[in-house]
């Protein structure tokens, strides 16, 4: 850390107040939003971790458990339990080598995609509730600031996403080839 | 929800992308920050939930388990375990009626206050890392937007905080009276 950064740390330490602490506010917001979301999703038979899995898999079909754990940041026990449950209820399909669990590829079934579409408006409602009164420009600025924070904490973030997206393009192309050969 | 809000939901549903989803970005930021923090706090013998308890109790001495659970948003099992551990290691003092656990008041011991002071610079370092490149004005704006979100999700937030602060003032006054009478 440079001198300027160290001065920043000293100043912020001296003036620390929990109500101004950004990460405290993050947890305050997330916990209130998740609490509201649990109630909204219960009638649809989907938990908050399941929603997060649906949201990631609908954009990242074919990802492994490792990738899914990295992207959702759900702890492994909860994630494994949720995926087992979603496979049982027919929302998630697992493809690959049963001997090598790391190579198993996850994707949404038609029922899973349908569940995502049914859940999404409930989630978006909570987003809108949280961001009530924010103009379009304020929302865009706010998102840009969050992206800056992610990149500050994880310099490899964009690179990893790009690698993943390239992998996804290859997977889609392969799926198409397989379908052509099968028909 | 009004017509305008419903239009907002429809528009946001149609254009949903996980990388622009504010709550997704929150979890991405928090998980990366917590992972870094675990490593920084390990040499100090403090876990992330323990840090959060220290941070709340240093401003809210005398709060009950219920209040602490509400403010930290740590789940009950983790919270009870952390408080038991912190009482054993002498960071937290419990005062009150052992028969009625709801009335037990928690506060930091001198060792607890000392632990808070030792941990705080490590936490502030992570904040600075996350907000690198943000100007003072951008930081203030960002915090103001987070506060708007908390209030949107929880209209009673400021009122509850004010009630708590009034209660704290009364508790401090009572402590002073007790000390005068005892001396």
Give percent of chain B above pLDDT 70: 86
Can you say how many angstroms the Cα of residue B34 is from the centroid of all Cα atoms in its chain? 14
Q: A109 pLDDT band (50/70/90 cuts)? A: very high
Average pLDDT over residues B170-174: 58
Q: Closest to B153 (Cβ–Cβ): which among A17, A22, A130?
A: A130
pLDDT at A46: 93
Cα separation, A106 vs B183, whole angstroms: 69
In tens, the pLDDT along A126-153 reads 999 999 999 999 999 999 999 999 999 9
Contact B128 A19 (CB under 8 A): no
Residue bearing tokens 């610079």: B121
Residue A6's closest chain B neighbor by CA? B125
Note the pLDDT tens digit of each residue in B27-61.
999 999 999 999 999 999 999 999 999 999 998 88
Rounded mean pLDDT, B158-183: 64
B37 close to B126: Cβ distance less than 8 angstroms = yes
What is d(CA A84, CA A79) in angstroms, rounded to the nearest whole number? 9
Residue by residue, DSSP assigns chain A as --HHHHHHHHHHHHT--GGG-HHHHHHHHHHHHHHHHHHHHGGGT--HHHHHHHHHHHHSTTB-HHHHHHHH---HHHHHHHHHHHHHTTSEEEES-SS-GGG-EEEE-HHHHHHHHHHHHHHHHHHHHHTTT--HHHHHHHHHHHHHHHHHH-TTHHHHHHHHHHHHHHHHHHHHHHHHHH-
Report, at the CATH architecture level, how domain B20-132 is classified.
Orthogonal Bundle (1.10)
pTM, two decimal places: 0.82
Domain range summary for chain A, segments of one domain joined by +: 20-132, 133-183
| Residue B175, min C-alpha distance to chain A (Å) | 23
Average pLDDT, chain B: 86
Would the pLDDT of A75 be above 80? Answer: yes
- Predicted local distance difference test score (pLDDT) of residue B75: 87
């Amino acid at each position: 850390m440079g001198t300027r950064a160290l001065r920043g740390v000293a100043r912020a330490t001296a003036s620390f107040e929990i109500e101004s602490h950004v990460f405290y506010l993050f947890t305050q917001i997330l916990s209130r939003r998740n609490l509201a979301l649990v109630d909204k999703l219960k009638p649809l038979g989907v938990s908050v971790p399941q929603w997060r899995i649906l949201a990631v898999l609908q954009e990242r079909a074919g990802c492994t458990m490792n990738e899914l754990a990295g992207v959702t940041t759900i702890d492994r026990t909860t994630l494994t339990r949720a995926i087992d449950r979603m496979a049982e209820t027919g929302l998630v399909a697992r493809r690959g080598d049963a001997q090598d669990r790391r190579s198993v590829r996850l994707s949404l079934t038609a029922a899973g995609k349908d569940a995502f579409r049914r859940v999404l408006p409930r989630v978006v409602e909570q987003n809108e509730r949280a961001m009530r009164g924010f103009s379009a420009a304020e929302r865009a600025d706010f998102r840009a600031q969050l992206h800056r924070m992610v990149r500050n904490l994880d310099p490899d973030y964009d690179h990893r996403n790009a690698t993943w997206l390239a992998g996804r393009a290859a997977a889609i192309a392969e799926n198409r080839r397989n379908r052509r050969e099968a028909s």
